[in-house]
Amino acid sequence: MKIGIDKIGFYTPHLYVDMNKLAVSRNVEPEKFTIGIGQEKMAIPPLTQDAVSLAANAALKILDDDDKEKIDFVIFGTESGIDHSKSAAVYVHQLLGLKPQARAIELKQACYGATAGIQMAKGHIALHPGSKVLVLGSDIARYGLNTSGEATQGAGAVALLISADPKIMVLEEHNAYMTADIMDFWRPIYADKAFVDGKFSNEQYIAFFNNVWRQYKEKTGLELQDYEAICYHLPYTKMGKKALRTILDEGTVVDQERIMANYQISTAYNRVVGNIYTGSLYLSLLSLLEQKENLEAGSRIGLYSYGSGAVGEFFSGILQPNYRKHLQIDQHTKLFSERTEVTVPEYEAIFEETLPTNDRKVELEIDQDPATICFAGITDNKRQYINKSAK
Ligand code: CAA
């Protein structure tokens, strides 16, 4: 049975900061951020967007009534959870009006959560071919003002509909994965910003990639030449390139040029959004599919997922006939073109705005946020969400 990605939705908040301007205010040469790190713009989430609302907005535009009838599993990958107990998936299930006969859970393993969700969805569809699974990857990346991680923040969500006979990409049979207990990046329960050992995290990202790439080759017999492109989890766009460079000499000059050119295209959206943790790999895939016009059906795309702590996985998919017709290119172009730039002081003020940690009632100004679904505040310790399109 063919199982894979039937639809892909994406959402990012309407505010961003220019990395050149951030660099100037941090007394750093702009090229460090734009070339050395490889980021041009960084999405800034207002308080009215959290992991739940970002994910709900990402899924809102892709689901039709037939999908809603068939979705019997919602899997939410995030490391920006809003409750220690109740899953973010249950909120999204309600906000999207999905049928009650569905499972809804949250998965956590840093940026790997959505990939775990996709693999779980694949197994579910194999057992229940008529059903569809909604997999969400939604996060807000926060390291703190004036930290070395600051230039690699971001916010956004990707929604993937997984089904049999998918319209966009069939996932191939094999996977290669590994786990090792390391402290490269983590966020203790009491912290609202990540802790990171930056250089170590870079090294481990590459070491995990080399391990799962080798395993996958052994399992499948596939070589670099068999891929049209390889997409990476992109904490920042230079990171995937560093990993890719370690295997490039396995191919001919033609392979190297093709894979590197496609890598550049696969960074297009990540470059102007920043790190969205669990969704980053799929934002990279979306960049490639939407921004490269002549990528042929039948092409094999490799996918490298990395979640600090750490779990890494390599897998691949085959593009389906007419896949481009099922992408939301116009919507995403509009989403990017309608964003508003904020100044560095404005970004800093938004960053410092946080919710109370006691039971105080909170009412947020959602009229300032053009998103259809917003986080509106907290009443009686219960988060309130508003879907502006709901009657
Ligand atoms: N022009 C061009 N390039 C310049 C430059 C200039 N003027 N100045 C510096 N650079 C280059 C440097 O040479 C360097 O390039 P290489 O990495 O190719 O050597 C690059 O800019 C970055 O410079 P530094 O290494 O000095 O940067 P830094 O130490 O300030 O921070 C970082 C970089 C470690 C990635 C930091 O931003 C960080 O900790 N980020 C968060 C952690 C992270 O993203 N880790 C990635 C792997 S973990 C993961 O993937 C999970 C996840 O999502 C978090």
pLDDT (tens digit, 9 = 90+) per residue, 106-129? Answer: 999 999 999 999 999 999 999 999
Calculate how far, in angstroms, residue 36's C-alpha sits from the geometric centre of ligand 1: 7
Which pLDDT value is given to residue 358?
Answer: 86
Query: What parts of the chain have a pLDDT lower than 70?
Result: 391
Q: Is the peptide bond before 310 cis (omega within 30 degrees of 0)?
A: yes
CA distance 333 to 354: 30
CA distance 194 to 176: 27
Q: Which of 213, 207, 229 is nearest to 308 (CA)?
A: 207
Residues near 250 by Cβ (< 8 Å), separated by ≥ 6? 223, 224
Calculate how far, in angstroms, residue 153's C-alpha sits from the geometric centre of ligand 1: 12
Which pLDDT value is given to residue 391?
Answer: 60
Q: Whose CA is nearest to atom 16 of ligand 1?
A: 36
What tokens were used for 120? 């779980």
Angle at 342 between CA 154 and CA 235, to 5 degrees: 15
Which pLDDT value is given to residue 357?
Answer: 86
Residue type, 170: V
Which pLDDT value is given to residue 19?
Answer: 98
Total domains in the chain come to 1
Bridge partners (DSSP) of residue 141 are: 154
Q: Which atom of ligand 1 lies closest to the CA of 199?
A: 34
Cβ of 198 closer than 6 Å to ligand 1, yes or no, is yes
Residues near 300 by Cβ (< 8 Å), separated by ≥ 6? 172, 222, 226, 227, 228, 316, 317, 318
Calculate how far, in angstroms, residue 8's C-alpha sits from the geometric centre of ligand 1: 29
72, 127, 51, 154: CA torsion to nearest 10: -140
Which pLDDT value is given to residue 295?
Answer: 97
Q: Whose CA is nearest to atom 52 of ligand 1?
A: 235
Q: Which of 46, 45, 42, 38 is nearest to 22 (CA)?
A: 42
CA distance 43 to 280: 13
- Phi first, then psi: what are they for 160, rounded to 5°? -120, 130
Which is catalytic among the residues 14, 93, 106, 111?
111
Q: Which of 104, 99, 102, 131 is nearest to 117 (CA)?
A: 104
Which pLDDT value is given to residue 359?
Answer: 87
CATH number at residue 64: 3.40.47.10
Q: Which domain holds residue 180?
A: 3-390
Which pLDDT value is given to residue 390?
Answer: 82
Rg of the chain over Cα atoms, rounded to whole angstroms, equals 20
